[in-house]
Each structure stands twice: as structure tokens, then as C-alpha cells.
């Protein structure tokens, strides 16, 4: 499974199917022997290759490690919880939600209350809970693709139908076309990814408002990369008061460099939080996870210094690749979509970069590759490797 379509496999996919690590070969039972749901047969697990190479720029992680002062604070917070691990955690994560609300309020200059915030194990669990509550059998979710490919996968896992909506040639969303599609198909859930993964493009607040006004059900704006947006780029948080069925999802994996901690959250009307409490698993967010997240939020200023550093490298990548004659999508995220390659050349470039020790992402979007912004040294390595396979001034095809 890739970040784009679900059909591309091969050297850039890296998915493992069949027996895998589950011991199927040893037991003599394969996946085909199990009574798997028919709609899951033939699919591959989601995931990017996890390869041991010098430069890994394929999963949009924050390349900077957690600073020592924050590590110390996290360790102290974990230590304070260890003796009480015989007890269940706060199942509603009230203290963490209060801290998240304070962070959103301070960062965006608008009041967000803890009752409007919900937290879970990564934004993917947030998305799953939303579809458990508002999707399901007989209901449909609409997304504008190419976008984050977990959206249709989570829809599949929750028995929710999926409808692909179009993006424009520059990977934007045409508001009139989106409204017409929503009015014609009446989906119960609409996904908008902004900044969009894998393209990096943001959606205007006017388009978001038009979609929210037209949608008969829930509108989920996936803002996993919001902290990396360029100045002036809007957030859907501005629309929460006007549209009670609007939900904004966020993550601490990227900007906060906490991909390994698995913390995601949302902001919405308190009624949405009430709905998710009907479907969330009991004690779903461990005491240790909550403690780490709260320690990180207490040191948000220190952690978010890396955001500006990564934005510098993102903009550098955009400039350098444009000068090389490659097509580059405008990015408000911590990654850059580039290419315009012929399909065979796309695979060749991906493999040549890997052979040079640089891992980027083939997102399954024909003619394009995606590279995460990393440290200056990682950017140097990527650009040097790319120049060796795509010399400066050699224009990519326009089609």
C-alpha cells in the first residue's frame, strides 16, 4: 500500500503479504485458508519501506531528535506514572485534552476548550473512531484524491463506502465541482486533507467553507501537517464556530517529532467528542502516552523550533528541483512532490536514489515521487544523488 493509490506494488512498495511474521508457514496455514472478509482479499498492508539506509526521507518524519531537555522532562513524567501502572489511565485523558486545547488556543489566537478536543493513538485512530461513529454500513465517505490513502482504507475497515472526488491539475480542489459532487451523491462523511498528503497543497478557507456548507453530514479536515504551512495559509479551525459538523484532526507525530509516541487529536464541537466516546475502546490511551504528550506540550516552543528548520529545507528543495527542470507541487507540508517522470523513469529514479543511500517515497502517483524535508545534510545527500540521475537543466515531461 502506498500514499497514493492502493494498486501500485513492487520495488517501491515494500509491503509483505501472506505468512509474513505471523508464523503462517510454520503452521501450514496461509491467509488464503482463513475466512477473511471478501472485500479485504487481495489487498496489501499499508506502509512505506523501512530500510536501513543512510538517508530516510520517505515517511515525512521529523528528522530532528527530541532535544535533551525534553527527553529529561518526558523521562520524569514517565517515571511518575510507573508505580501506578497497576491502575487504568484516565480514560477521558482530561489533562492531556486541556493541554492540547491550550496549545491550539495559543498558536492560533482563538479559544479552544478541552471539551472540544479528543485524543487517541495517532490521528489514524481518531479517523477510525470518526468513521465508526459517523460512517459504517450503508453510508459513504467522499475524499478528493490523490490524498492520504489511509482515508479509504479506514473507510473499508469500518464498512463505509468510498467515493473518489477529483483534484485539479495543480492538485487543488475546485469548490464548485466539489459542491456539485456532494449535492449529487450526498455522502455522510467528507474528507479534505489540507495540507494534502502526498501533494503538499493546502485548500483555501473559502473552499473548505463551501464544502462544509454543502455537506449533509460530517466534514473531516485532516491537518496533520498544519504547523508546516507557509505564512497566511488558513486552518479549518477558523470555521469551527460556523459549522458544527466540521472536525479538524491533527497529530503530534510530525511537528512535535513524536512519531514513535503515537498521539493524534481533533478539535470539534463537544457533541462530536460525545459521539466518539460511544465507540472508543476503554482506556485506549495509556498513562505513559498521556504523560509523554503532556511533557512535550509543556516544551512546545523547544520542539517546534525544528519546524522552521524543516520549512527552510522544504523551500530549498522546491527551489533546487525547479532549477533542475523538474515539476514541483507547491508545498505547505514538510515534504515535496516532484517529477513529471515517465512511468519507467519514475521507478528508475526511485531505485537509483536508493542505490545512492537515499530513500524517498513512490506514492503510487504516476510520474511523481515524494521526498521529506530533512536536515541540511540529508537535503545535501538527496540533491547530490538526484543530480547524478537527473542532471540540472534536463526538463521533465510536461504531461
| H, E, C per residue of the chain | CCCCCCCCCCCCCCCCCCCCCCCHHHHCCCHHHCCCCHHHCCCCCCCCCCCCCCEECCCCCCCCCCCHHHHHHHHHHHHHHHCCCCCCCCCCCHHHHHHHHHHHHHHHCCCCCHHHEEEECHHHHHHHHHHHHHCCCCCEEEEECCCCCHHHHHHHHCCCEEEEECCCCCCCCCHHHHHHHHHHHCCCEEEEECCCCCCCCCCCHHHHHHHHHHCCCEEEEECCCHHHCCCCCCCHHHHCCCCCCEEEEEECCCCCCCCCCCCEEEECCHHHHHHHCCCCCCCCCCHHHHHHHHHHHHCHHHHHHHHHHHHHHHHHHHHHHHHCCCEECCCCCCEEEEECCCHHHHHHHHHHHHHCCEECECCCCCCEEEEECCCHHHHHHHHHHHHHHCCCCCCCCCC
Give the model's pLDDT for residue 5: 36
Q: Tens of pLDDT along the chain (399 residues)?
A: 334 333 333 333 433 333 344 545 567 899 989 999 999 998 888 877 788 899 999 999 999 999 999 999 999 999 999 999 999 999 999 999 999 999 999 999 889 999 999 999 999 999 999 999 999 999 999 999 999 999 999 999 999 999 999 999 999 999 999 999 999 999 999 999 999 999 999 999 999 999 999 999 999 999 999 999 999 998 999 999 999 999 999 999 999 999 999 999 999 999 999 999 999 999 999 999 999 999 999 999 999 999 999 999 999 999 999 999 999 999 999 999 999 888 778 999 999 999 999 999 999 899 999 999 999 999 999 999 999 987 654 454 444
Q: Which domains does the chain have, with CATH numbers?
A: 47-66+302-389 (3.90.1150.10), 68-298 (3.40.640.10)
Give the model's pLDDT for residue 50: 83
Give the model's pLDDT for residue 21: 47
Give the model's pLDDT for residue 389: 87
Give the model's pLDDT for residue 13: 40
Amino acid at each position: 500500500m502506498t500514499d497514493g493509490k492502493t494498486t501500485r506494488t513492487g520495488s517501491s512498495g515494500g509491503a509483505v503479504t501472506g505468512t509474513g511474521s505471523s508464523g503462517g508457514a510454520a503452521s501450514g496455514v496461509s491467509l488464503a485458508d482463513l475466512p477473511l472478509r471478501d472485500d479485504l482479499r487481495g489487498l496489501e498492508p499499508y506502509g512505506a519501506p523501512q530500510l536501513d539506509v543512510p538517508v530516510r526521507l520517505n515517511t515525512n518524519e521529523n528528522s530532528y531528535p527530541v532535544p535533551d531537555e525534553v527527553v529529561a522532562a518526558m523521562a520524569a513524567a514517565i517515571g511518575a506514572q510507573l508505580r501506578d501502572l497497576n491502575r487504568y489511565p484516565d480514560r477521558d485523558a482530561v489533562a492531556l485534552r486541556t493541554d492540547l486545547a491550550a496549545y491550539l488556543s495559543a498558536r492560533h489566537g482563538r479559544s479552544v476548550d478541552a471539551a472540544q478536543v479528543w485524543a487517541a493513538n495517532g490521528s489514524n485512530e481518531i479517523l477510525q473512531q470518526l468513521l465508526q461513529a459517523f460512517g459504517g454500513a450503508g453510508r459513504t465517505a467522499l475524499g478528493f484524491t490523490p490524498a492520504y490513502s489511509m482515508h479509504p482504507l479506514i473507510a473499508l475497515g469500518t464498512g463505509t463506502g468510498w467515493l473518489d472526488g477529483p483534484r485539479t491539475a495543480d492538485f487543488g480542489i475546485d469548490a464548485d465541482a466539489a459542491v456539485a459532487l456532494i449535492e449529487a451523491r450526498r455522502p455522510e462523511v467528507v474528507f479534505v486533507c489540507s495540507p494534502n498528503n502526498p501533494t503538499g497543497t493546502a485548500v483555501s478557507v473559502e473552499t473548505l467553507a463551501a464544502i462544509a456548507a454543502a455537506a449533509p453530514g460530517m466534514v473531516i479536515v485532516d491537518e496533520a501537517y498544519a504547523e508546516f504551512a507557509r505564512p497566511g495559509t488558513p486552518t479549518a479551525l477558523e470555521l469551527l464556530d460556523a459549522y458544527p459538523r466540521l472536525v479538524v484532526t491533527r497529530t503530534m507525530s510530525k511537528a512535535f517529532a513524536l512519531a514513535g509516541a503515537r498521539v493524534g487529536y481533533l478539535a470539534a464541537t463537544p457533541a462530536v467528542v460525545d459521539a466518539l466516546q460511544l465507540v472508543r475502546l476503554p482506556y485506549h490511551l495509556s498513562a505513559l502516552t498521556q504523560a509523554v504528550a503532556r511533557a512535550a506540550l509543556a516544551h512546545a516552543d523547544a520542539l517546534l523550533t525544528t519546524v522552521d528548520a524543516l520549512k527552510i529545507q522544504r523551500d530549498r528543495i522546491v527551489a533546487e528541483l525547479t532549477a533542475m527542470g523538474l515539476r514541483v507541487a507547491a508545498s505547505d507540508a514538510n515534504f515535496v512532490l516532484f517529477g513529471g517522470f515517465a512511468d519507467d523513469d519514475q521507478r528508475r529514479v526511485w531505485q537509483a536514489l536508493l542505490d545512492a543511500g537515499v530513500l524517498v517515497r513512490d506514492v503510487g502517483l504516476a510520474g511523481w515521487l515524494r521526498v521529506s524535508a530533512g536536515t541540511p545534510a540529508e537535503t545535501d545527500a538527496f540533491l547530490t544523488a538526484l543530480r547524478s540521475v537527473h542532471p540540472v537543466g534536463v526538463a521533465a515531461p510536461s504531461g
